[in-house]
Homo-oligomer: A and B are copies of this chain.
Amino acid sequence: MEHIFDDAYFMRKALQEAEIAFDKGEIPVGAVIVIDDKIIARGHNLTETLNDVTAHAEMQSITAAANFLGGKYLQQCTLYVTLEPCQMCAGALYWSQISKIVFGARDMERGCINLKTKLHPKTKIEGGVLAKEASELLKRFFIMKRNLN
């Protein structure tokens, strides 16, 4: 029997969150946090809606997951996020001691890899899961924005 709860499965859920952001006029980035194949938090970028630069998909999800777990550390959890985390989000993930970060598209300019944000020694990070879908959604958003202005 095929194991349906693979990285692509959860990244599709994160992409659904990114699409919700898209529909709200937000830069379309979405995230879910998973523990034992169960989604315990969902989030999408809300920086425009909330007028708040800290309202990235990952930040919403970290807060929601900690709320669900009743504790602030996410040591058994995996974050799926459609775009490579920025310094702020990677910095928050450092504090959370999260077990694993799986991202979709790379962010060469503002992502945590090229900017060398320090992650917790216990945190693994990998990327490229449904990267094409994630970056196409972002491209579609910026083309639409350009045409509106």
A59 within 8 A of B: yes
Query: Would you give the 0/1 interface string for A72-93, flagging 1 where the beta carbon is closer than 8 Å to chain B?
Result: 1100000000000011111110
Q: How many copies does the complex hold?
A: 2
Q: Are B47 and A54 in contact (CB under 8 A)?
A: no
A117 at the interface (CB under 8 A from B): yes
Q: How many residues of A contact B (CB 8 A)?
A: 29
A94 CB contacts on chain B under 8 angstroms: 87-88
Given contacts A53-B73, A54-B54, 7 further A-B contacts (CB under 8 A): A52-B66, A54-B63, A88-B88, A88-B89, A88-B90, A88-B94, A89-B91
Instruction: List residues of chain A with CB under 8 Å of any chain B CB.
Output: 47-48, 51-54, 59, 62-63, 66-67, 70-73, 86-92, 94-96, 115-118
